[in-house]
Chain A
């Protein structure tokens, strides 16, 4: 399967050009710093007395959500930076000519790129999140309710934004495609907050707009799914029904199965569009 040749090239490029090394070092630094931060939580005192265990766990859960938000943001940015020039860059430099004149189809080429990027996203997202959760557990003995589900949502969020950037890369230069992907990512994020406000104030118009942005680029919906997997039940119960639905670091309910299936379909559709788009491109 020639797609795998291309996928391996993508992974090898990530490794050889020290992308993975840079991410690994920075991530380890961040994990070390946050690990130290987590270790300080139990030392917080209230009127001279240490906080009750439940409250420590609640603070830890909030802190973990913030940390993970930072990771998901880094993941999205990194995925865009790597995916946006992935095809356009090779076409511009001429590297694509040597590959595409071989007996390889355009679909195999695009799918190979996608598979390689998927591996990079999964390794980074899975690795960073797993280490962070492990460090937090080691430092203060807190484990979020559904770490595996969280990993799934975090990786899916990276895959969605990466797939979009790859689609743009079939036609636009890395710079343009990257900017567009990041702006859409930002709009989806804001859309989620706006939708929360709409829901809190029962405003159907605002809610619909937010739902639309969530469907056009499902990154924020996936982020909410990831947050929900990190929230202790006590927290969900305490905040239910308040304006906090607009809080981007909070989710009031698990992502519905229909949404998860929608995301699978969304990624498949974007990948298919990328294949069709690149099939007509003449390098």
Chain B
């Protein structure tokens, strides 16, 4: 619909450490305003990609643009980082400071107008639910509180929101037009908040799309015996059949075709013991993509 400049764009972005390829060639584009889930198994290159996007590491080849600024242009990229809030996986802040002081340091680092600090910090503390502990040393915080402080730090420079839950914060950010890049292995979390998702494996994007696009495939599990070898091919018109022991899993089948599938099995001499229709979750999709990544990479 609207054609705004992408918030993040990468073009064959690659990072090698000696012989090890951490990121093979990442190409993707994230429209401004999207909540984008960045998914992949450990070692897929997610963290490396984030470091490259933030300018913490430099690409071996390829290019990335953050809010329009290429990472290769250090000055422009540094300026663009004013508009980026980052919640590191490893959220460690100066433990000898209070939460309020940490937030103040970050207000100063992003050039926020000094007059706006107090209101900004008050909002951030309120949103993440740390208002009452704002003047305690971070060193005494629980891990959860430290993470909330991290979220507060990442929220600075953005106007008020009003809930404590991370998912709620993300939804509220989206409502304000903020692009959210969620690097996660928590699939349910991603499933609940993201508009679009990229699956990454071995340093490349395996598949990218909206949740609706990626999860069109409903599937059905049928426990059937007595099927001959040719049955597999014959059932292909219904979806993508795969044997899992006694079970036959057919992915990508429309729900109203399940009875037809059962009849087709019976007509080929199969005996049907059980039928379990399933709505595919992101996790199923993710796992099936990882099992045969190249085949589905259309």
Residues in chain A within 8 A of chain B (CB atoms) = 2, 5, 9, 12-13, 16-17, 93-95, 97-105, 282-283
Contact = CB atoms under 8 A, between A and B. Distances in A.
Contacts of B90: 94, 97
Interface stretch (B53-61, B118-126, B215-223, B226-234): B53-61
Contacts of B111: 103
Interface stretch (B74-82, B170-178, B185-193, B238-246): B74-82
A257 to B, nearest CB: 39
Given A13-B94, A16-B96, A97-B56, A103 B78 contact: yes
Contacts of A95: 92-94
Contact of B110 (A9, A102, A283): A102
Nearest to A2: B109
B183 to A, nearest CB: 13
Nearest to B74: A105
Contact of B91 (A9, A98, A99, A103): A98
B92 A94 contact: yes
Interface in B63-118: 74, 78-82, 84, 86, 88, 90-94, 96-97, 105-106, 108-111
**Chief secondary structure at chain B's binding surface:** loop
11 contacts: A5-B109, A13-B94, A94-B92, A97-B56, A97-B86, A98-B86, A98-B150, A102-B110, A103-B78, A103-B80, A282-B58
A16 B97 contact: yes
A2 B92 CA distance: 20
| Best-surrounded residue of B58, B91, B109 (most CB of chain A within 10 A) | B109
Interface residues of B, number: 30
Contacts of B56: 97, 100-101, 282-283
A98 B56 CA distance: 10
B51 interface: yes
A54 to B, nearest CB: 51
A87 to B, nearest CB: 14
A104 B110 CA distance: 8
Interface string B149-174: 01001000000000000000000000
Contact of A99 (B78, B84, B109): B109
A100 to B, nearest CB: 6
B32 to A, nearest CB: 19
Given A93-B92, A98-B92, A282-B57, A103 B109 contact: yes
